[in-house]
Amino acid sequence: MPFVTASDGAQIYYKDWGSGRPVVLSHGWPLNSDSWESQQLFLATHGFRAIAHDRRGHGRSEQMWDGNEMDTYADDLAALIEALDLRDATLVGFSTGGGEVARYVGRHGTSRLAQVVLVSAVPPFMLKTDDNPGGVPVETFDAIRAGSLADRSQLYRDLADGPFFGNNRPGTDVSPGIRDAFWRQGLEAGHRGAYECVAAFSATDFRADLDAIDVPTLVIHGDDDQVVPFEVGGKASAERIKNATLKVYPGAPHGITDTHKEQLAADLVDFLTT
């Protein structure tokens, strides 16, 4: 299997499909690159080189004891981009992966980038604080951490059966297969890595990172996202990033990579070819 070596020796797994201008896909918590397969296949069959990696501690990448925070995630992404010598690349980040992409720009700049896409992404800053009063209370994330320690298998099942895909909304019936894939990918993550990633996606302030984005940026977010609320995530990011384009999916949940995969794939290709 293909791996790149991070600065601390961690082995980072990746998939590299197709040829053409590179598109690098960063996944959400507690998932891995398998969560991008629909979009990766679509992009690779439409003239792009689609690359997706497993974040450290997730999927097939090494389960390091340390480095389960955004600075290291971003540096791991940089190691991948540099090892493959990618240029004129588009970075696409879903949920936690959106934070990884933003922090990459903050730490490594945009010299290798052509575009950025944030999908249901956690920036600018999820946590409610004195200077971020519209954020999500820490008790929400404490409950996720407690659930992870008590029975993380059931935690992932509950997220998949409920808010992640909006399956708790009247009239919504997300297939058992999609929900089972979420649960499976979650359990493929290491316990420590997945646990520490909760703080990484919830308590990292990405506002300065967004200010550093100086390439065309597309922000996509569902307005019924129960995980990263639209007002906290997509709306606030689009308002902060210079000349960003915001595309709202009416009634859409957090997990639009599955629930709205055809629409998302079409929007990605449209942005990539504009």
Q: Which of 95, 148, 202, 237 is catalytic?
A: 95
d(CA 218, CA 244): 6
Q: Which of 54, 76, 209, 225 is catalytic?
A: 225
SS3 category, 91:
strand
d(CA 189, CA 58): 4
Quote the tokens at residue 43. 């992009």
Q: Which of 27, 53, 254, 260 is catalytic?
A: 254
- Supply the DSSP symbol for 34: G
* Interacting residues of 135 by C-beta distance below 8 A, sequence separation 6+: 125, 126, 127, 128, 129, 232
- Supply the DSSP symbol for 35: G
225 in active site? yes
211 in active site? no
254 in active site? yes
Tell me how many helices (H) and strands (E) the chain has: 10, 8
Q: Where are the alpha helices (DSSP H) in 189-260?
A: 191-203, 207-211, 234-240, 256-259
Quote the tokens at residue 151. 């029975």
Catalytic residues: 95, 225, 254
